[in-house]
Structure 1
Amino acid sequence: MKEKTSNQYSTEIRERAIRMVREHQGEYPSEWAAIQSISAKFGCTAETLRRWLRQTQKTNEIRQDSASSSDSERIKALEREVRELRQANEILRKASAYFAQAELDRPFKR
């Protein structure tokens, strides 16, 4: 049996209803009570609004996972770059010390 899919409500209405549930949830004894009250104001069923909320939560989780994986890749690249720069600085520091010592060991010209 195929689930009925209706696009009866605009994206703006859905987003506003979801935002209202999130903003006013603390005023109700439970999330479900908030959903029931707010869904009545928008003329949709409580189950419809609950599904919209869950879908939005899943979408946000996916976005966060995607962002965190790209962040972790960026962090790894930056850590690798820091290691390489520290190695280069160490080489330059040793070379500088070597040439400074060689300059001191050179006989003085008059």
Structure 2
Amino acid sequence: MPAPRKYPDELRERAVRLYRESDPKPSFGRLAEQLNVHHEALRNWVCQTEVDTGERDDRPSTDVLAENRRLARENAELRRVNEVLRAASAYFASEIGPTRRWS
């Protein structure tokens, strides 16, 4: 289960919208101070939104990150299953005995 988020999604969306709609662009520090969030969090939200909307391509999109997390979980589960199968195979092989020959 993921850790709870420090900032609600509504605050994130509002902060990004305020930054993107402002002209001239305010500094991240000033806007973050007004919204009572950390300036690096605001900067990351804006950058990630720009990636998701296709304005930037220097980091993975939210969809790609979610797919990578899903694949990592699936990979870990498959590794666990393989380990159980190896252990079961070794157990049953020892039950058969080392002298038995397969023809």
TM-score range, shorter chain: 0.3 to 0.5
Give the structure-2-normalised TM-score: 0.45
Give the structure-1-normalised TM-score: 0.42
Structure with greater Cα Rg: 1
Q: Which has the higher helix share?
A: 1
